[in-house]
Structure 1
Amino acid sequence: MKSYKMITLLAAFASLGFLANSIQAEDAKSTVNSTDESFVKSASQMGIGEVQVASLGVRKGARADVKELAEKMVTAHTALNAEISALAKSKNVAISTVTDPSDTETLKDLENTDTGDNFDKAFLAELESAHKDAIALFEDAAKDSADADVKNLASKALPELRSHLDMIQAAQKK
């Protein structure tokens, strides 16, 4: 009986060791450095929030140009999110599909903003802020990324992100 308990105990320890090694292997699975991995995760998270905010703009925007801009943002950021997801998959970077808590708060605030001019102003201000943050993030990756694919994606996305910011700022002046 004692030898059975000892064998069971040894098997349990061996299983724990195997499990620990499996967990470490999962953590080390990414094929990019931590800075590039952080960029991919952040860009993905920003993109999810951007599509959700833009979708709200499509639904609640008062002015036709604001709704049209929101539709462009949904289309463009959905496409960029697909590129980021493909890159993440190819580099074994686990990305979240859950909305970031700060984006959830932003969505709640915008949802609770009156429709009409008040909503349009708050919506455009949020888009402007989000695009400035995204441009800074993508500029850093385009300049400093160690991975050629990450650097390429960031560099390729920057002109469109800057164009979005220009369109947002033009809409704010109307």
Structure 2
Amino acid sequence: MRTFVIATLAMLVAVPASAESTMEKSGINSVFGIAPSTEDFVTEAATGDMFEVASSKLALERSDDATKAFAQQMINDHTKTSADLKALIASHKINVTLPTAVTSAQQEMLDKLQKLQGESFTRKYHANQVRANTDAVDLFKRYGNGGDQVDIKEWARKTLPTLERHLDMANVLNRKPAS
């Protein structure tokens, strides 16, 4: 069994990188606390921002006042982090292409949210926010601790407290019953 696991991991490492490396996409890097490549970090940070903004715009239309306040904060903060990341990449001439759409998993979550209204929407949005912000905190911590591009690494560290605050806020909302 151990040989199988080692062989599987070796094959994953040997797979060439595409838009997101297999190690990052599979979650193995996260499990072992390994920093993503700069390309993976940028891709995940950018698609995360797009998901946060898109889902939060829906929340502004469909949810209670507390959730709307949180959603507006997510829109404001993630619009800013998107602009900051784009500027960092341009100013440092980092050879990374920013994605133009969310991942298929994020699109599935958005599609499910689109079909919901009222309390069902609010509960699902809260749960999605906990998941998205947990993933973002993990991503930014790993890159901030071990990323290979100094300026982006510093930006990840600087941005992390905001993302941790988002996660705390999302957890509080997720514990409250939908109204």
Same fold at TM > 0.5:
yes
Q: Is 1:146 aligned to residue 173 of structure 2? A: no
- Which runs of 4 or more aligned residues in structure 1 lie more than 3 Å from their structure 2 counterparts after TM superposition? none
Separation of aligned partners in 1, 2:150 and 2:102? 28
Residue 105 of structure 1: aligned partner: 108
Question: Could you report, residue by residue, the CA deviation over 1:127-170 in whole angstroms, capped at 9, with x for unpaired residues?
Answer: 11000011111111000012210111110111000001111111
Rg larger for: 1
Residue 24 of structure 2: aligned partner: none
Residue 93 of structure 1: aligned partner: 96
1:35 paired residue among 25, 37, 43 = 37
Q: Which amino acid aligns with 2:83?
A: A
Using structure 1 for the length normalisation, give the TM-score: 0.75
Please tell me the root mean square deviation across aligned C-alpha atoms, in Å: 1.3
SS at match of 1:118: helix
Q: CA deviation at 1:103?
A: 1.7
Aligned residues: 139
Using structure 2 for the length normalisation, give the TM-score: 0.73
Query: Are the counterparts in 1 of residues 48 and 102 from structure 2 also a CA contact under 8 Å?
Result: no
Separation of aligned partners in 1, 2:50 and 2:88? 15
Residue 173 of structure 1: aligned partner: 175
Residue 79 of structure 2: aligned partner: 78
Query: Are the counterparts in 1 of residues 130 and 174 from structure 2 also a CA contact under 8 Å?
Result: no
State the percentage of identical aligned residues.
Answer: 29
Q: Which amino acid aligns with 1:97?
A: T
Question: Could you report, residue by residue, the CA deviation over 1:38-82 in whole angstroms, capped at 9, with x for unpaired residues?
Answer: 211221111111111111111111x11001111110011000111
Separation of aligned partners in 2, 1:116 and 1:41? 32
1:155 paired residue among 153, 157, 165 = 157
Residue 135 of structure 2: aligned partner: 133
Q: CA deviation at 1:95?
A: 0.9
Separation of aligned partners in 1, 2:96 and 2:108? 26
Instruction: Give unpaired runs (5+ residues) of structure 2.
Output: 1-35
Map 1:59-74 to 2 at 5 A: 59-61=61-63, 63-74=64-75
1:116 paired residue among 112, 115, 118 = 118
Q: CA deviation at 1:87?
A: 1.9
Separation of aligned partners in 1, 2:129 and 2:39? 25
Query: Are the counterparts in 1 of residues 53 and 74 from structure 2 also a CA contact under 8 Å?
Result: yes
Instruction: Give unpaired runs (5+ residues) of structure 1.
Output: 1-33
Q: Which amino acid aligns with 1:86?
A: A
